[in-house]
């Protein structure tokens, strides 16, 4: 600011100053000074212009992909894949497996193993934490079975223990986990007993229809076909007093003593003393802590009674060797197996699989310590360039036994191997595009506790940010690849499988085609992907090598699922483990590094169509309903005379059913176009362009961002907030859920399926509308 007092003075001075300043200089002097500067400026300007023009004309064309890579100092994906393959080492997987299987690590126990997992992540340069949840679970105190004779005297007391084997050191550990059922009811039962095949709904229905009364009976069933907790549920619903479940060699794929195989440890057949532990939670109602359905089990949280979700009758598992003296008592009593069905008879000669009831009584006692105790998840995190966008990969750490070399620590060892590989990449300067979270869950065995509570705790963040969840529970328990997946991830899996060599030659993909035509199953339940896919609508995948034809019998949840068994019978070269590590790593990199989220959408549409066609096969009435719009429908199908359903049922469901079919058809078309569009975006993305096309690149990036948003929310379109009927409202996905009568195996379009099974036409109409709305929503996202 000018000082007003000085202004006059200043105004007086200029003349003098000006005069002084403008004192003339010799012309030549001035001229030469200006011309030097001018010349310099001229040259400089020309030079700069020339340089710019030169470099622009000769500037290399680059792709948007390369530009971004430079910007973020990203390492090309192919280089990362090479680095991944180079660092996967069967020897280190073996060492990790050995450590995981050295001591018992039942859910909520062995904090040291969680700590070691976290420390090992940290050692590899991956930040790790151990979030805990206080869960309601049981630990076994004591169990016993007594068989009585006609006079009420104890005639037989099974040991309920598995044999200690000299060859297999884990079987001789002093602190074994007893044979028991997770979430089994603590109590005793005494009464007559019956044999009820696999304990499926249809088995109980069949026996009930033949007049068998289950009330106060102890029901003996075989393992297999469905989730064990549902066997107990069905028995409980019929008034049974207790359930005993044994493993029949008939389900061992022919690798049996009868067929001349020796039993483990001398051969690949089942050791006759082996017992399958496991949870009897009602998995198809809701996983997670049964006292906190839908919210996280934090300290001091409110809890509800668990008995909608866990049994209120006791149960125990038993070996086939020890069930023989009991089931022998049924010989010649009650209905014969051949009157019931071909699978009622098993593979044991000592008893004839008669249903009973027995003349003699059995007593089952089961003392459990129910407690609320912390479970320890381990969460490792590799922060990406786009820190929020997240890919989660996970495996559970807890096992029913000290070993668990198959379930789950074949997956744990592979997860650690992947952490090691990622750690090496981090050291060489890698930062993934999206954040990668590595999860080592606790308490999966009891009922997917660790993953469910964590995901319920972070539901908002996961819903908003997680691109996909890739689960590997048992990475190796045999030599047959199984894959279950959200259809969006199918193609990514196939491509990864094509890049990895199979231990017996060829690629993982080629062998998979040979084994089952590279079939990908839908997701049911039974592992930690459940909360991600079924509750949050996050595309998930689950895979591994499991027991199949010709494989050594897998001693599931038995002490013989040990390091020694894995190292001698199942994967002595640790080559199957290595193959899984590579496939899992490739999928993770595909998801973390792909600028365009690598989902394919058309397969989703085609599978939806297939699922509806499967329902039509299962329920011929749907064909009639579909045709009902036809003016001649009643003549054509003769429904006037059908007593299965009313004409009004056809009328009310016909329109919604045809709407669903049309919506799916529309979605398939939009999805095919959208896949073509994203494929085009990808081509553009890796195409080289001259510099002056930068607006095009900018537009491309915007288009990719938009496409990603659509891909990201697509699977969420299939969530129905109110969830499934029948107390299954925790399950929100309208396409995938565990079967209400199977647990492990998935039910497709579960709401509709169950309504049809129940012949509940109002519910059929309701679910047709709900599913159609979801398909339309998905369609509007991508069209
Ligand atoms: C194995 O795991 C335990 C924790 O159970 C840990 O203390 C130990 O250091 C680990 N051993 C090796 C060789 O890493
Ligand atoms: C039951 O479990 C709790 C927690 O693990 C433990 O503190 C308690 O001693 C156990 N009770 C018995 C009878 O073992």
Distance CA 419, CA 121 (A): 6
Name the residues annotated as catalytic. 444, 648, 733
551's tokens: 């494989």
Tell which one of 112, 175, 398 to mutate to probe ligand 1, the residue whose CB is within 8 A of the most ligand atoms. Answer: 112
Q: What ligand is nearest to the CA atom of residue 110? A: 1
Distance CA 411, CA 561 (A): 13
Q: How does pLDDT run across 763-779, given as a tens digit for each residue?
A: 999 999 999 999 999 99
Minimum mean pLDDT range among 23-37, 71-85, 467-481: 23-37
Query: What does the pLDDT read at residue 626?
Result: 82
Q: How far is the CA of 297 from the centre of ligand 2 (A)?
A: 19
Side by side, which strands form the sheet with 362-376? 154-156, 132-148, 362-376, 187-191
Q: What's the CATH fold of domain 136-371?
A: Glucose Oxidase; domain 1 (3.50.30)
pLDDT at 54 over 50: yes
CB 375 within 8 A of CB 443: yes
> Ligand 2: residues within 6 Å at CB?
139, 141, 369, 371, 373
pLDDT confidence of 640, banded at 50, 70, 90? very low
pLDDT at 31 over 90: no
Q: How does pLDDT run across 111-169, given as a tens digit for each residue?
A: 999 999 999 999 999 999 999 999 999 999 999 999 999 999 999 999 999 999 999 99
Distance CA 196, CA 200 (A): 8
pLDDT confidence of 7, banded at 50, 70, 90? very low
The verdict on domain 602-782 having CATH code 1.20.930.40 is: yes
pTM here?
0.91
pLDDT confidence of 38, banded at 50, 70, 90? confident
CB 685 within 8 A of CB 649: no
CB 170 within 8 A of CB 559: yes
Q: Which of 746, 736, 570, 742 is nearest to 224 (CA)?
A: 742
Index of the ligand 1 atom closest to the CA of residue 95: 13
Average pLDDT over residues 27-54: 73
CB 587 within 8 A of CB 541: yes
Query: What does the pLDDT read at residue 742?
Result: 85
pLDDT confidence of 642, banded at 50, 70, 90? very low
pLDDT at 381 over 70: yes
**Which distant-in-sequence residues (6+ apart) come within 8 Å of 455 by Cβ?**
462, 531, 532, 535, 536
Neighbours of 5 (CB within 10 A): 7
* Ligand 2: residue whose CA is nearest its atom 6: 371
Q: What ligand is nearest to the CA atom of residue 142? A: 2
CB 596 within 8 A of CB 519: no
Query: What does the pLDDT read at residue 154?
Result: 98
Query: What does the pLDDT read at residue 5?
Result: 42
CA dihedral sign of residues 197, 201, 202, 207: positive
Query: What does the pLDDT read at residue 297?
Result: 98
* Ligand 1: residue whose CA is nearest its atom 4: 113
pLDDT at 625 over 50: yes
Q: In the predicted model, what is the mean pLDDT of the chain?
A: 92
pLDDT at 2 over 90: no
pLDDT at 72 over 90: no
Q: Distance between alpha carbon 21 and the CA centroid of its chain, in Å?
A: 85
How wide is the angle at C-alpha 55 spanned by C-alphas 51 and 56, nearest 5°?
Answer: 115
pLDDT at 303 over 80: yes
Domain 76-131+377-593: state its class: alpha beta
pLDDT at 647 over 80: no
Q: How does pLDDT run across 473-508, given as a tens digit for each residue?
A: 999 999 999 999 999 999 999 999 999 999 999 999
Q: How far is the CA of 281 from the centre of ligand 1 (A)?
A: 32
Q: What ligand is nearest to the CA atom of residue 369? A: 2
Angle formed by the axes of helices 694-714 and 647-686, nearest 10°: 150
186: left (phi over 0), alpha (psi -120 to 50) or beta: beta
Average pLDDT over residues 515-543: 95
pLDDT confidence of 213, banded at 50, 70, 90? very high
Q: How far is the CA of 412 from the centre of ligand 1 (A)?
A: 14
Q: How far is the CA of 370 from the centre of ligand 2 (A)?
A: 8
CB 178 within 8 A of CB 140: yes
pLDDT confidence of 632, banded at 50, 70, 90? low
Distance CA 423, CA 428 (A): 9
pLDDT confidence of 30, banded at 50, 70, 90? very low
Q: How far is CA 430 from CA 86, 333, 435, 468, 585, in A?
A: 15, 69, 12, 21, 15
Task: Please tell me which residue, 455 or 64, carries the higher pLDDT value.
Answer: 455
| 3-state SS assignment for residue 144 | strand
pLDDT at 636 over 80: no
CB 625 within 8 A of CB 660: no
Query: What does the pLDDT read at residue 645?
Result: 57
Contacts by 746-749, CB closer than 8 A, 24 or more apart: 746/484, 746/521, 746/522, 746/523, 746/524, 746/525, 747/524, 748/522, 748/611, 748/614, 748/615, 749/611, 749/612, 749/615
Q: How far is the CA of 116 from the centre of ligand 1 (A)?
A: 6
- Please tell me the chain's helix, strand, coil percentages from 3-state DSSP, rounded to the nearest 5: 45, 15, 40
Query: What does the pLDDT read at residue 41?
Result: 79
Q: What are the structural domain ranges in the chain? A: 26-59, 76-131+377-593, 136-371, 602-782
* Ligand 2: residue whose CA is nearest its atom 12: 369
Q: How does pLDDT run across 305-321, given as a tens digit for each residue?
A: 999 999 999 999 999 99
Query: What does the pLDDT read at residue 11?
Result: 37
Tell which one of 138, 371, 373, 376 to mutate to probe ligand 2, the residue whose CB is within 8 A of the most ligand atoms. Answer: 371
* Ligand 2: residue whose CA is nearest its atom 10: 369
pLDDT at 66 over 50: yes
Provide, rounded to the nearest whole percent, the portion of the chain with pLDDT above 90: 83
Query: What does the pLDDT read at residue 18?
Result: 42
Task: State if residue 113 touches ligand 1 by the CB under 6 angstroms criterion.
Answer: yes
Q: How does pLDDT run across 553-582, given as a tens digit for each residue?
A: 999 999 999 999 999 999 999 999 999 999
Q: In 3-61, at which residue ranges do the beta strands (DSSP E only) sit?
A: none
Q: How does pLDDT run across 316-353, given as a tens digit for each residue?
A: 999 999 999 999 999 999 999 999 999 999 999 999 99
168's tokens: 């297999």
Distance CA 310, CA 321 (A): 28
């Amino acid at each position: 600011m000018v000082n007003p007092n000085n202004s006059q003075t200043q105004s007086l001075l200029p003349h003098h100053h000006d005069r002084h300043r403008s004192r003339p200089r010799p012309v030549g002097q001035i001229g030469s000074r200006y011309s030097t500067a001018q010349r310099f400026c001229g040259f400089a300007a020309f030079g700069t212009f020339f340089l710019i023009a030169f470099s622009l004309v000769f500037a290399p064309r680059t792709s948007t992909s390369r530009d971004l890579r430079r910007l973020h100092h990203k390492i090309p994906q192919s280089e990362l894949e090479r680095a991944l393959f180079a660092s996967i080492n069967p020897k280190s997987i073996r060492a990790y497996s050995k450590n995981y299987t050295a001591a018992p690590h039942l859910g909520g126990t062995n904090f040291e193993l969680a700590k070691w997992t976290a420390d090992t992540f940290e050692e590899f340069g991956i930040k790790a934490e151990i979030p805990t949840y206080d869960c309601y679970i049981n630990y076994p105190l004591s169990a016993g079975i007594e068989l009585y004779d006609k006079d009420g005297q104890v005639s037989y007391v099974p040991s309920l223990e598995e044999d200690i084997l000299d060859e297999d050191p884990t079987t001789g550990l002093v602190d074994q986990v007893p044979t028991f059922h997770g979430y089994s009811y603590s109590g005793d039962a005494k009464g007559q007993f019956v044999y009820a095949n696999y304990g499926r709904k249809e088995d109980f229905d069949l026996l009930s229809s033949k007049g068998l009364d289950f009330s106060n009976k102890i029901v003996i069933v075989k393992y297999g076909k469905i989730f064990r907790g549902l066997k107990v549920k069905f028995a409980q619903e019929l008034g049974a007093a207790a359930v005993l479940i044994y493993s029949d060699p008939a389900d061992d794929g022919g690798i049996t003593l009868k067929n001349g195989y020796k039993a483990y440890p001398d051969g690949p057949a089942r050791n006759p003393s082996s017992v399958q532990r496991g949870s009897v939670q009602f998995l198809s109602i809701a996983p997670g802590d049964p006292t906190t359905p839908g919210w996280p089990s934090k300290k001091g949280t409110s809890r509800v009674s668990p008995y909608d979700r866990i049994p209120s009758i006791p149960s125990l598992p038993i070996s086939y060797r020890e069930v023989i003296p009991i089931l022998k008592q049924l010989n010649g009593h009650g209905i014969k197996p051949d009157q019931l069905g071909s699978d009622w008879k098993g593979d044991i000669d000592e008893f004839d699989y008669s249903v009973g009831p027995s003349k003699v009584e059995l007593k089952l006692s089961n003392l459990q310590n129910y407690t609320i105790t912390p479970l320890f998840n381990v969460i490792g995190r590799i922060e990406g360039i786009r820190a929020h966008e997240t890919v989660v990969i996970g495996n559970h750490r807890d096992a029913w036994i000290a070993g668990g070399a198959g379930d789950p620590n074949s997956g744990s060892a592979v997860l650690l191997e992947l952490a090691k590989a990622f750690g090496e990449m981090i050291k060489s300067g890698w930062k993934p595009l999206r954040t990668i979270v590595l999860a080592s869950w606790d308490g999966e065995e009891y009922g997917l506790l660790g993953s469910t509570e964590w995901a319920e705790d972070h539901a908002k963040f996961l819903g908003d940010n997680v691109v996909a969840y890739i689960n590997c529970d048992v990475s190796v328990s045999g030599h047959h690849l199984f894959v279950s997946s959200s259809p969006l991830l199918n193609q990514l899996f196939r491509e990864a499988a094509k890049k990895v060599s199979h231990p017996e030659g060829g690629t993982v993909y080629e062998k998979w085609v040979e084994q089952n035509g590279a079939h990908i199953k839908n997701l049911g339940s039974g592992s930690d992907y459940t909360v991600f896919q079924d509750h949050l609508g996050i595309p998930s995948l689950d895979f591994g090598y499991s027991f199949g034809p010709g494989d050594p019998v897998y001693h599931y949840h038995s002490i013989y699922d040990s390091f020694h068994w894995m190292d001698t019978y199942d994967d002595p070269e640790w080559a199957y483990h290595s193959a899984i590590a590579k496939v899992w790593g490739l999928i993770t990199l595909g998801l973390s590094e792909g600028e365009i989220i690598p989902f394919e959408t058309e397969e989703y549409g085609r599978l939806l169509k297939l699922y509806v066609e499967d329902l039509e096969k299962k329920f011929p009435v749907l064909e009639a309903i579909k045709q009902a719009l036809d003016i001649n429908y009643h003549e054509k199908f003769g429904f006037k005379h059908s007593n299965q359903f009313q004409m009004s049922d056809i009328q009310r469901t016909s329109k919604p059913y045809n709407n669903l079919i049309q919506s799916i058809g529309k979605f398939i078309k939009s999805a095919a176009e959208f896949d073509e569009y994203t494929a085009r975006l990808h081509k553009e993305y890796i195409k080289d362009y001259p510099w002056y096309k930068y607006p095009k690149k900018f537009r491309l990036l915007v288009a990719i961002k938009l496409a990603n948003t659509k891909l990201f929310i697509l699977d969420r379109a299939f969530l129905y907030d109110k969830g499934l009927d029948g107390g299954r409202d925790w399950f929100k996905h309208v396409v995938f859920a565990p079967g209400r009568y199977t647990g492990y195996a998935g039910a497709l379009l579960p709401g509709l399926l169950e309504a049809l099974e129940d012949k509940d036409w109002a519910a059929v109409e309701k679910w047709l509308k709900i599913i159609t709305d979801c398909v339309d929503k998905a369609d509007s996202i991508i069209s």
